[in-house]
Amino acid sequence: MTGFQSKGCFRGTPRAALIALAFAVALPAVSVTPVFAQTAELPERVRAMDANGNGKIERDEAQGPLAANFDSADTNKDGAIDGDEMAALFARFRGGGGGAAPATAAAPAATSGTAGTDAPSTELSERAKGLDQNGNGVIDKEEARGALAANFDRIDADNSGGIDGAELSKFFGGGSGGTAVQVDLVREGGISQTVPVIGRLVALQSGPVASRVSGPVSEIRVSVGDRVKRGDVMVVVSHDRLQSESDRLLALVEQRQAMVAIVAAEFEKTAQEMRRLENLRRGVAFSQKRFDDVTQELAVRKGQRDERQAQLAQATEQLNRANIDLRDADIRAPYDGVVTERHVDVGVWLSNSTPVVTLFNDREVEVEADVPSDRIVGLAVGDEVRLSLDDGTIHGAVLRAIVPVENPLTRTRAVRFTPKFGTTLKAPALNQSVTVAIAIGGSRRVLTVLKDAILRPDGQPTVFVVEGNTVQPRIVVLGESAGNRFIVLKGLKAGDRAVYRGNEQLQAGQRVRIVENGDGDTAARTN
């Protein structure tokens, strides 16, 4: 039968039957009648596993697929598998009914193509038919999902706009190297129980932007909803009066500079006279009275110079303030944000500190949640939590602060979280509702597997696990959902390579080759 599978003779056969036949091959060869008959005796070839000869296969005696699915096969939970339980296990893999197909039976006839050739069937498999919503016998582009959608153009070899069974078989057959699949490691990690708490988005930068000068509004350059960058001009106050004041003070500064220059020249003249008298101090022409008069005059000139320099500094400062007012007449955005409200119109007289617009920085936000006081004990700064927005997206966040003030009415405390927003379906809004998953109790270690790795061929959750260069189905028992993964209670172990892409067409024992996903990440993901 292995030879028939490699030639593609079973394509088009219902998936459950294929799993049953391949499962039978994975075990030691079994005579046809004993395997599926309702008998308490073990099949003759399986008896080789029965090391203690008690007529049952115990856990430490089971091998291969029987060991992997031991818990599912042991329906009476007595720690051993008898003939009836083995027959029931095979029946589940082959669809749950009917007699057994002999392990050496010929492959079913192809539903299309030429009899006696290796041409693959163009008919869709039972699982693939679930995607064929319009019933036209092919999977159209808008019907494709998962790996089919990602690789549609490659699979549609004839560019017909639809994928038939033959094209599926060719693509997932993977050539001589086996079926192309992508795998993810079953991993063990900590998980804790959480309770949802409703929070809201609060702004780190938000509020009215006010005028710093007085005057009439001459221009408004923004409207409600406009996004601005830091430094963008939003409102303009008339420059006329402010420019006139700046020009007046500039003239005053120039006047003061001229006065300083005159006084400085007079001071230098007097200082020169003083130096001349000092040179004559030992001569007969020296006059003490003249020397005293010049000394007094020099002191007066120095005082006049200092006064004029102080007046110049004062005028310069007044000019600087006038220029600042002129600059502030262009009211600019103090930070990046969105205009949420406009308070003035053209012509309105503004006084100093009059609000002109309200601005909200939607790129710098935090989440504030009122957490019940009895839940605070389990929280600490730096804890990571999950946030759910009302658009359905889930994001991470880090606890930044617990405000040490308790509301006596609600017995809650405000807790601030720093969100790590990735892709959202809509931009965050001020006071937007946010659901925060607060951890309660201690964490526990669990196994998890990607949701995409789960198949349900007959209602039983099943995962195909890569063993060497082939795959084997594992019936699993699942727990609750954990993001994009399921908690695994039974059937898998940490490190198992679970197929999550290309598993739609797999059969027990089928050769596979692990490939990289479309994003270039390694197929055996560990994160």
| 3-class SS string, 200-265 | EEEECCEEEEECCCCEEEEEECCCCCCEECCCCEEEEECCHHHHHHHHHHHHHHHHHHHHHHHHHH
Q: Number of folded domains in the chain?
A: 5
- Domain range enclosing 416: 192-203+362-443
Q: Are residues 261 and 390 in the same domain?
A: no
pLDDT of 276 strictly over 90: no
> What ranges make up the beta strands (E) of 37-118?
57-58, 80-81
Residue 223 or 279, more confident: 223
Q: What is the pLDDT of residue 179?
A: 81
161 domain-assigned? no
CA dist., res. 128 & res. 109, Å (int): 19
The domain that holds 496 is classified in CATH as 2.40.420.20
Average pLDDT over residues 242-246: 94
The whole-number pLDDT of residue 177 equals 57
Angle between helices 288-328 and 240-279 (to 10 degrees): 160
Answer yes or no: is pLDDT of 399 > 80: yes
- Within-domain flag for 92: yes
CA 505 to chain centre: 31
- Greater model confidence, 335 or 85: 335
Residues 1 and 98 in one domain: yes
pLDDT of res. 97? 37
Residue 143 forms part of a structural domain: no
Q: Is the predicted pLDDT of residue 411 greater than 50, yes or no?
A: yes
Give the residue from 443, 469, 501 where a domain finishes.
443
Query: 163 forms bridges with which residues in the sheet?
Result: 139
Per-residue pLDDT for 318 more than 60?
yes
Q: What is the pLDDT, as a whole number, of residue 90?
A: 63
Please say which residue of 443, 470, 488 terminates a domain: 443
CA distance 157 to 166: 10
Pair (93, 9) in one structural domain:
yes
CATH number at residue 347: 2.40.50.100
- Asked which of 292-301, 375-384, 400-409, 471-480 is least confident by mean pLDDT, the reply is 375-384
Assess whether 382 and 461 both reside in one domain.
Answer: no
pLDDT confidence of residue 430: 86
pLDDT one-digit tens code per residue, 145-195: 766 776 788 788 788 888 888 877 666 654 445 788 899 999 988 776 778
63 and 91: one domain?
yes
To the nearest 10°, report the CA torsion of 155, 159, 165, 168.
0
Q: Which residue has the higher pLDDT, 34 or 81?
A: 81
| Cα-based distances in Å from 416 to 280, 316, 361, 399 | 84, 48, 17, 6
Q: Are residues 433 and 472 in the same domain?
A: no
Q: What mean pLDDT is predicted for residues 294-304? A: 91
Q: Which residue has the higher pLDDT, 262 or 158?
A: 262
382 within some domain: yes
Structure tokens at 427: 């931009």
Task: Report the CATH number that the domain containing residue 430 is assigned in CATH.
Answer: 2.40.30.170
More confident residue, 425 or 409: 409
Query: Do 337 and 407 sit in the same domain of this protein?
Result: no
Question: Which residue, 414, 443, 472, sits at the end of a domain?
Answer: 443
Does residue 106 register a pLDDT over 70? no
Compare 414 and 459 and report the one with higher pLDDT: 414
Residues 340 and 315 both lie in one domain? no
479 & 492 share domain: yes
Q: Which residue has the higher pLDDT, 378 or 235?
A: 235
Looking at 120-134, 287-301, 470-484, which range is the least confident one?
120-134
Contacts of 6 (CB under 8 A, 6+ apart): 511
pLDDT above 80 (res 8): no
Q: How far is CA 506 from CA 159, 233, 251, 443, in A?
A: 25, 63, 90, 36
131 domain-assigned? no
Query: What pLDDT was estimated at residue 225?
Result: 93
Most confident of 6-10, 156-160, 439-443: 156-160
For residues 504-508, average pLDDT: 85
Structure tokens at 204: 């780190």
**DSSP letters spanning 281-337:** TTSTT--HHHHHHHHHHHHHHHHHHHHHHHHHHHHHHHHHHHHHHHHHTEEE-SSSE
Residue 241 pLDDT exceeds 70: yes
Q: Which of 15-29, 360-374, 493-507 has the lowest mean pLDDT?
A: 15-29
Does residue 418 lie in a domain region? Answer: yes
pLDDT at 482 > cutoff 80: no
Does position 457 have pLDDT exceeding 90, yes or no? no
Q: Provide the mean pLDDT of the chain.
A: 80
214 and 351 part of one domain: yes
In this structure, the answer to whether residues 2 and 98 fall within a common structural domain is yes
pLDDT of residue 34: 35
Amino acid at 357: V
pTM of the model: 0.46
DSSP state for residue 9 in the 8-state scheme: T
> For residue 110, is it within any domain?
no
**376 and 285 share a domain?**
no
Nearest one of 259, 237, 372 to 315, comparing CA atoms: 259
Q: Is residue 166 part of a domain?
A: no
Cα(294)–Cα(272) distance, integer angstroms: 10
Bridge-partner residues for 350, per DSSP? 215
